[in-house]
Amino acid sequence: MELLARRSPSATVCPSEVARALANTSGAGQTLEDWRSAMPMVHAAVDRLLSEGSIQLSWQGRRMQARAGPYRIGRRQDGAD
């Protein structure tokens, strides 16, 4: 949510961007593999936030109801179901 808060209300982030940010906060000298190992944690958080209605997912401008394949994470927009 912190990455989204830094952007415009309609902006989205890639799950790998979240994982990279997590890897960067865990110390210097992170490798490519480090952020990839954070992806299961990112997916779990996305599933939880989606079920709480805190975020919405999309891909190529189309709204997604569940995490499947490539996706982007965005703030829940008013009126979104």
Boundaries of every domain in the chain:
2-75
Share of the chain above pLDDT 90, in %: 63
The answer for 73, left when phi > 0, alpha when psi is -120 to 50, beta otherwise, is: beta
Average pLDDT over residues 52-63: 95
Sheet strands (E) in the chain: 12-13, 55-59, 62-64, 72-75
Average pLDDT over residues 76-81: 69
Look at residue 32 and tell me whether its pLDDT is greater than 90.
Answer: no
* Beta pairing, strands 62-64 & 55-59: antiparallel
The CATH code of domain 2-75 reads 1.10.10.10
